[in-house]
Amino acid sequence: MKHIEIIAFDADDTLWHTENLFQDIQKRFSEILDQYAPHEEVQARFHQTEMDNIKLFGYGVKGFTLSLIETAIEISAGKIVASDIHEIVMMGKNLLDAPLDLMDGCADVLKQLKNDYRLFLITKGDVLDQRNKIEKSGLEGLFEATEVVQEKDFNTYSALFKNYDINPQSVAMVGNSLRSDILPILELNGAGIYIPYHVTAHFEIVEENISNPRFYQLENISALPDLLNGVTVT
Amino acid sequence: MKHIEIIAFDADDTLWHTENLFQDIQKRFSEILDQYAPHEEVQARFHQTEMDNIKLFGYGVKGFTLSLIETAIEISAGKIVASDIHEIVMMGKNLLDAPLDLMDGCADVLKQLKNDYRLFLITKGDVLDQRNKIEKSGLEGLFEATEVVQEKDFNTYSALFKNYDINPQSVAMVGNSLRSDILPILELNGAGIYIPYHVTAHFEIVEENISNPRFYQLENISALPDLLNGVTVT
């Protein structure tokens, strides 16, 4: 791939598994609320509450957990018992304390790419959560910088690249979210390498067909070196 | 005050009121749990839970709220009703959404000092919470930099000053916490200007008599210019 000097990686569900843990909790959450509302309504109400709370809470496990509790009380019209709420609190704490599960081949790919590219990690969310995960990953030393931002959009990326004196056209962004990782870098005339994860957070879903010569899609992170080396990827 | 070129301000309960809002919530929390345990036991159990959770949650409103909920369920042995937990969630949300109440004279003092000193703001806590408060304060433009850190200790300050190429001996740190604002800067051979707030978070309390020629104590932030100008402060 021509002109690319910098590879900026998303972290959650790109370098390591995250969303599956959130979805497991939401599945258990629906079971707890089974007697009050059908699964689909529970999920829809939770998604609405989570979106309404994002401005106050930001992204991250603590806000996620508080939104679950708020939804549970409202859906059950105050009938949910304290032990169920306790279980929700503990699921949140366990999630914060969970071991980190790296994507297959991730560390090897990063080590290989580090020889030829400047590597950045750009992740969104609660700073403490994200810093803890970066530390657990053992990957920090492979990156020139690791940045935790509140929102991944055109303005955030512009400011961040400017801060490092980086021309966005020399950047390939790698991530699992079209909305947060891919569309902004394409708008900045960089390259977007989309590696879908098998589940996507509801607030990251975009319905869009991307037709852009700087857009690429891969099955998994292990295919990245070949793509960058210009080997045809099917 | 000789050699001082930089004044680094704590924010919560130094530039604006915060702890009184947390304590109001804890007071209401004790009332909610009145039927299960005496006030002192409720507070002690909450403080213990909050401390136990700091490593997972960090400082900030969301972690504070989750620790209240966890404590309420445990103290009531699961008997607390969902509407009470809902009230706790809403108190947390209201706290995040509360207007910012600046200390009397704070903006004027900063504007005056900005003529003669480089001003920094160094605050601890949840990054989103703290960034929102800095924005609400309208004071950001008065500071050369505003930094949100996870813990305010010798290592954090050392790294931060090094990052800005600052000699700590040229720094006066102004704050309401001996533990977080004063003792570390004295250890770094800077000056510590302690302005106690009328209430202190339990995790900030230290029992210590400070005898150090670079330690100062003031009644309020309005007395700061005179101290820095060498006017005798009693």
DSSP, residue by residue, A55-91: HHH-SSHHHHHHHHHHHHHHHTTT---HHHHHHHHHH
pLDDT band at B157 (very low <50, low <70, confident <90, very high): very high
* Inter-residue contact A181 to A173 (CB < 8 Å): yes
- CB proximity A98 to B under 8 Å: no
The mean pLDDT value for B126-144 works out to 94
Is residue B43 over pLDDT 60? yes
pLDDT band at B185 (very low <50, low <70, confident <90, very high): very high
pLDDT, position B231: 59
Please give the share of chain B, as a percent, with pLDDT higher than 70.
98
- CB proximity A159 to B under 8 Å: no
Most A-contacting residue of B126, B134, B149 (CB-CB within 10 A), to test interface: B126
Over residues A55-102, the pLDDT tens digits come to 899 889 999 999 999 999 999 999 999 999 999 999 999 999 999 999
Is residue B206 over pLDDT 90? no
Judged by DSSP in three states, A194 sits in strand
Cβ distance B69 to A89 less than 8 Å, yes or no, reads: yes
Radius of gyration of chain A (CA): 19
- CB proximity B96 to A under 8 Å: yes
Is residue B234 over pLDDT 50? no
Chain B CB contacts of A73 below 8 Å: 82-83, 85-86, 89
Please give the share of chain A, as a percent, with pLDDT higher than 90.
85
Cβ distance A127 to B127 less than 8 Å, yes or no, reads: yes
Cβ distance A66 to B63 less than 8 Å, yes or no, reads: no
CATH class of A6-16+101-228: alpha beta
Residues in chain B: 234
User: The dihedral of CA A155, B101, B125, B218: what is its sign?
Assistant: positive
Which of A66, A86, A128 is the closest to B92 by Cβ?
A66
What is the fold of A19-97? DNA polymerase; domain 1 (1.10.150)
Domain boundaries, chain A: 6-16+101-228, 19-97
What is the fold of B6-16+100-228? Rossmann fold (3.40.50)
Is residue B97 over pLDDT 70? yes
Nearest Cα neighbor of B183 from B215, B146, B156, B158 is B215
Cβ distance A82 to B81 less than 8 Å, yes or no, reads: yes
The mean pLDDT value for A130-135 works out to 94
Is residue A30 over pLDDT 60? yes
Is residue B108 over pLDDT 60? yes
HSE, side-chain direction, 13 A CA sphere, residue A220: 10
- CB proximity B98 to A under 8 Å: no
Chain A CB contacts of B96 below 8 Å: 56-57
Chain B CB contacts of A81 below 8 Å: 78, 82
Chain-wide mean pLDDT for chain B? Answer: 93
pLDDT, position B207: 73
What is the rounded distance in angstroms from the CA atom of residue B130 to the CA atom of residue B174?
Answer: 17
Is residue A234 over pLDDT 50? no
Is residue A233 over pLDDT 50? no
pLDDT, position A202: 73
**A and B: number of Cβ contacts within 8 A:** 89
- CB proximity B147 to A under 8 Å: no
Chain B CB contacts of A126 below 8 Å: 126-128
What is the rounded distance in angstroms from the CA atom of residue B162 to the CA atom of residue B82?
Answer: 49
- CB proximity A86 to B under 8 Å: yes
Sheet (strand B145-149) strand order: B145-149, B118-124, B6-9, B171-175, B191-194, B215-217
The mean pLDDT value for B34-59 works out to 94
Cβ distance A56 to B81 less than 8 Å, yes or no, reads: no
- CB proximity B126 to A under 8 Å: yes
ipTM of this predicted structure: 0.84
pLDDT band at A125 (very low <50, low <70, confident <90, very high): confident
Residue B218, φ and ψ in degrees, nearest 5: -125, 160
Is residue B26 over pLDDT 50? yes
Nearest Cα neighbor of B52 from B33, B77, B71, B73 is B71
Judged by DSSP in three states, A172 sits in strand
Q: Is B211 exposed, middle or buried (0-12, 13-18, 19+ CB in 10 A)?
A: exposed
- CB proximity A97 to B under 8 Å: yes
Over residues B50-90, the pLDDT tens digits come to 999 998 998 899 999 999 999 999 999 999 999 999 999 99
- Angle between helix axes A82-97 and A19-32 (nearest 10 degrees) is 170
Closest CA–CA distance from residue B67 to any residue of chain A (Å): 9
Write out the two tokens for B207: 């029992």
The mean pLDDT value for A177-204 works out to 90
pLDDT, position A206: 74
Write out the two tokens for B153: 């200790």
H or E segment and range at residue B217: strand B215-217
What is the rounded distance in angstroms from the CA atom of residue A67 to the CA atom of residue B217?
Answer: 42
* Residue B131: closest C-alpha in chain A: A150
